Each structure stands twice: as C-alpha cells, then as structure tokens.
A and B are shown apart, each in its own frame.
Chain A
Amino acid sequence: MAGWRTHAGRAITLPHDNIDTDQLIPARFMSAPRSEGYGKFLLHDLRHDADGAEVPDFPLNRHDDATILVAGRNFGSGSSREAAVYALVDAGITTVIAPSFGDIFASNAVNNGLLPARLSERQVKQLMMHLGDQSGAARIDIDAKELRIGDHSFAFELDDGWQTKLINGWDDIDLTLAHRDQIHSFRDQRLKTSRWAWPTAQDQEPPGTRAQ
C-alpha cells in the first residue's frame, strides 16, 4: 500500500446516515478475487434498479470523477468485510468524510490507504449544503489534518497512529515482526503461567488431517 499526504479531487455527497457495509458491497459479490477490481460493486444495489439498469440520479452515477464522499453518521457500520473498502478504493475514492464511522470499517479503511475523516455533524451538513447534488473541487491534507471544499476549510479528526500509517503506507506485519523477540517471550511467559489458554489436543493425529 502506497502512503499519501495530500489529495486534490472532486467531492460529492451521499446524504444518508448508516450507509452500512451491506450497501457498500452486497454479500453476493464477495467471492470475486480482488484482481477483478471491486469498483463496479460499490453501492451496487443503490446504483442499479431491480433490472440492473443504472439509477441515473444516484450521485455516483452522475459524477464518475468523484474521489471524495461526504456522508452521514455511522458510515460503514455492520460487518467486518474489508471488501467494502476495496469497493471504495477500486472505484477511485481516497477519502470518506462523515461524522462517525463503524469501528471495524475505519481500521479496514486505514489499512487500505482510504482516509476516514471525521467532522462534526454541523460541519458535514455545511458541506452537504454547499455541494448539493453537484460535485465540487476538494483538497485533503493528512499532515495538517485539514480539508477544503469550496470556501469551507475544516480541521478533521483522525487518530495519530492512523495518520502516520496513511502517510507512510506501512504494512503492519513488517512493523510487528520488528518486535519478534518481545512477542516470543510474551508467548513463553503466557504458556508458563496460563497453560489453560492453549487448546487441549484432541488426538494424536497431526493437525489438518480432518481436512477432506
């Protein structure tokens, strides 16, 4: 994952609360390999009618150049499916601005370079009023934790650890493996003091033999 500091793009609004992960990507698309690209699944059942035709006035259908979404509270609530983030990222979205996010969604977003920028309800309302059903020029600065859409300039909230991660595009596994010795000694200590925490062996068969 590549890190990023600033982004200049186009913002649009999705003026709804509780846009859940089942909306972001319906479950039936989740068996596809990522290499296929998940952008076409983004908000599929809101963007298309029952016959599969595009809903012409859905914001994402009207503005295919959008890179920033301004949405209502509790964006990404629901399941842990990281595919919801893949759909956004593969559709070219870099930033979602909302008053609040589902917890798991927000960490998944950061793990994939997607910025979950939190503003107050009032600030989000102002942006929605400003944009209406149009798209607008927008600029995001992760270093400064600032965003500008039209004349509106706001400081957004973002956890410091997430800020660093988004900027550096770090892979946690490499970071963690630098602590390998500490992990091993923790494990050895836990095994000594809390042996009950290890599963009782079921039989003498090597693990995996129940696999068919």
Chain B
Amino acid sequence: MTQPRTLLDKLWSAHEILKREDGTSLLWVDRHLVHEGSHHAFGKLAARGADVAAPDLTFAVVDHYAPTRQRERIADPQVSRMIDTLRNNAKQHRLQLFDLMDPGQGIVHVVGPEQGLTLPGLLINCGDSHTSTHGAFGALAFGIGATEVAHVLATQTIWQKKPKSMRITVDGSLGPGVSAKDIALNWIARLGTGGAQGCAIEYAGSAVRDLSMEGRMTLCNLSIEGGARLGMVAPDEVTFAYLKDRPYAPKGADWDAGLEDWANLPSDDGAEFDLEVTLHGDDIAPTVTWGTSPEQALPVTETIPDPATLDPGKADAARAALDYMDLPSGRALEGIAVDQVFLGSCTNGRIEDLRAAAAVLAGRRAKVPGMVSPGSAQVKAQAEQEGLDRIFTEAGLDWVASGCSMCVGMNGDLVAPGKRCASSTNRNFRGRQGPGARTHLMSPAMVAAAAVTGTITDVRPLLHGRAA
C-alpha cells in the first residue's frame, strides 16, 4: 500500500521536473502573474536579451500603482511611468494585460481567481508575497522576488526546496460577525509572525469548509503574515462551483478531466504533517491589531497588554510598537478613536467583504472619513449592481476604483503621519500606509463598525436584527 500523501505532496510531485542532490527541486510553473512592480525582473530579462518562455501562461495586471481616482489623466508622472513600463513589457513580450481601463482590471490576487486563471492543481507564482491567496483553490501558490520572477519569465520554472507541512484545523463554527480574517489574526497572534516559517499550511476543519471561496482566500492570503511560504485549502464543491464558466477556466471535456483530477487532490486519510495546530471556531472573537506587527493582535474585547508581562523576547517590540501607535498599555481596545477607515486590498476587497461591511453600514452614517476600493473592476460592478456603493456613499465614505491603494500606498493613497486608520488590509507595519501612519488591522465588518462609531468597536451588537 502506498503511503498516505498530503495535498502538498501531491501538488509538489505533479510539478517536479527534477530534484538536485542538495534537495532543491525544479518545478513547472502553470501561471505567472506580473504587475508594475515586476519592472526589475523585465529589466533583468532585457539585460540578457531573453524572451518570455511561455507568454500564454503569463498574465500582466495593473494594480500596485493603479490610481483609484481620475484614471483618464494620471497626475503623478512616477505612477504613469510605472504603468507605461508594464504596458511596454506586456506588448513587447505579447502578454495578456489587464490594463487600467479593462473591465477585468483589479488586484492581481482578486483577478486571477475571478478570471478562472487560478485553478486547483496549479503552481502559481507572482512577484508578490500575497500570492498565497490562490492556494485557497488547492493550488501551490507562492510569492517570489525579482530575480526569481526573471527566472520564471525566462524558463517557466522555479527552483524550490519543499517546505515543511503544517495543518491548521479550525473545528466548530464561527459566530456571527466573525470571519476568516479573525481566524487568521487569531492564529498569527498565537504562533507569532515566524510561527509558520518554512511551512506550507493546509487549512482544514469544519469552520474552514464552511467558508466561501472569498473567506478561504482571505485565510490563505494572510498565511504569509505568520511566516508561511504558502497556504492552501483542499478543493471541494464550493471551489468547483466558484470556478465553473469563469472566462479562462477549462470548458467541456477539459473541465470534466479537471474535476476528475482535482477530486484526488485532498490529503489522504492518515497523511502526516510536520506540524499540527487546532483552533476552535466558536472561541474566536472579532480580532484587532494594537501594534506594528500582525502578531500583536487581540480580541476586540481585550485590553492592550503591559509589555512587562509579555515574553521578554517580545517586550521591547511591544514597547516600541505602543510608542509608535501612541497607545498606553492597559487601555481597552474598544473605544480607541480612529481618524479614518479603509476597506479593500487583496486580503478583504472581494464582494463578500463589501457585503459584510455594507450590512453594518446600511442606514447608518460614518463618523470618520474613509475609502472603499473594491478588489477589482468586476467586484465594483457587482457591488454597484447590488446597490452596495450607495450604502457606502450614503454613509459618507468614498467609493473609488480598484487597486492595491491604501494597503501599500504606492499610488499615492496614503494615511497622513500620526493618523489612525481602521483597515481591512494585511500589514500594520510601521509606515506601511504612509510615513507615520498608524494601522489597526481588522475584518471588513469591524472596519464598518469603526466607521459608524469613529472608534474601534465590537461589530457584533451592531449586527443585531440585521442579516450579516
């Protein structure tokens, strides 16, 4: 009898072209996604005079520098130059480009799945750490640096050492107002930002099975914040229903053949993982970060810890974080005043995220300004069809176009120095949303709650009597 295998084992062996003596494998890349930030890699390719090996498997998306307002006339010449560089590279190498005005434009990790470019059983690379998002479909998806992007462009392969396997099982079910974001912040707070270093995470358990594809993508997206190389969820009927008839997804006999292969991907019974962690969905509360690292997170009902009571290795970091965040230890998280809110990003910019926020905001006014940037032009169109845009604008928030926007600020959407932002994004690093900006990470529903009260707020009471 053959050894039971994990999803990781199966995906790895399906892509392994060869293995070197030092244990490094050469893997076949099924999809390569590039964006404006890939300019260094195209530069390396040009320096070699090399061509893109598989233009049919390489897709370009304008997202990191995409203006969220006034796209027709880009004001910032630097932004304009970055986008033009991508256009020129895409044209020169005959790559499909989702350009600024394309109805398929959006954040690369939203576009891939919604176009059906992301499928179970694929190996997907992109020069962006949040490439782990695509693992939600049962794909091997991980971020790479510019030298590796150039390598994939030139060879359609990547050298990698097989990561350790880790299974995070979330039993039970999530309560109302609790989402995939809260699962992620919860395990990262527990294990630390290096907790999954060198690991491929497979998320399992009833609370994960119950998540929509959008929720699974949020969970896999944040794997990197816990140090993991990648995150995955085994494909199932939810996955297949999401993908069927998507533009680039297989059709007819190819679809049937895909379904047959994908059904064999889930980890075999009895397969062993290098590390196992179990959480209970019912214990997870809406979670918020208080510091400058995603591991500095707590349930919204808690108080900010006293650094002196923390593990000595973490005390200095906590002191520095509280100083930067201008927060005292011992203060309740609830009630901390925010200056603004941001809804969007590859973590939480999908239709379900906007619906969750709109469920809180409907019929209410925001006490602070804020921006809502849908994850893609398609999400934007869908939200407008459902009337969500009116809920946001009637609440007083700005409804803008899609891109990475205020998650990373490359397009000029910044939080001003010293300002505090309740944000549905992925990193609360110092200066991430702009020099001196103070970021509190939380779910879209929690961002909406913060907008309504102007403070960090437990969303659950605001959902009473409403369909969340």
Contacts and interface: CB of A to CB of B under 8 A. Distances in A.
Interface of A: 15-18, 20, 22-23, 26-28, 30-31, 33-34, 45, 50, 73-74, 77-83, 85, 100, 102-104, 107-108, 111-112, 121, 159-161, 164, 172-173, 176-177, 179, 182-183, 186-187, 190, 194-200, 202, 206-208, 210-212
Interface stretch (B115-123, B173-181, B387-395): B115-123
A179 B147 contact: no
Contact of A28 (B122, B147, B409): B409
A104 B143 contact: yes
A81 B408 CA distance: 12
Interface string B28-67: 1011000001011001000010100001110000000100
A76 B431 CA distance: 15
Contacts of B251: 200
B157 A190 contact: no
A156 to B, nearest CB: 17
7 contacts: A73-B313, A80-B128, A104-B144, A176-B155, A196-B257, A208-B96, A212-B99
A80 B229 CA distance: 11
B410 A30 contact: yes
Nearest to B84: A212
Per CB-CB distance, the 10 closest pairs between chain A and chain B, nearest first, are A196-B258, A108-B145, A111-B147, A82-B145, A82-B146, A196-B250, A161-B22, A80-B143, A208-B94, A199-B248
Contacts of A17: 313-314, 316-317
Contacts of A111: 145, 147-148
Interface residues of B, number: 93
A26 B431 contact: yes
A27 B157 CA distance: 28
A200 B247 contact: yes
B335 interface: no
A121 B311 CA distance: 14
Nearest to A195: B254
B150 A173 contact: yes
B161 to A, nearest CB: 7
Contacts, number: 214
A212 B159 CA distance: 34
Interface of B: 14, 17-18, 20, 22-24, 26, 28, 30-31, 37, 39-40, 43, 48, 50, 55-57, 65, 78, 81-82, 87, 90-91, 93-102, 116-117, 119, 121-122, 127-129, 131, 143-148, 150-151, 154-157, 159, 161, 193-194, 197-198, 227, 229, 247-251, 254-255, 257-258, 261, 293, 313-314, 316-317, 320, 408-410, 417, 427, 429-432, 435-436
Given A161-B22, A176-B151, A183-B26, 5 more contacts: A31-B410, A78-B427, A164-B22, A176-B159, A208-B55
A82 B148 CA distance: 10
B98 A210 contact: yes
Contact of B147 (A18, A82, A186): A82
Given A100-B194, A186-B28, A210-B96, A197 B122 contact: yes
A125 B30 CA distance: 44
Given A31-B78, A187-B156, A212-B87, A22 B429 contact: yes
A202 B248 contact: yes
Centre residue among B82, B121, B128, B429 by max chain A CB count within 10 A: B429
Contact of B261 (A77, A194, A198): A194
A161 B24 contact: yes
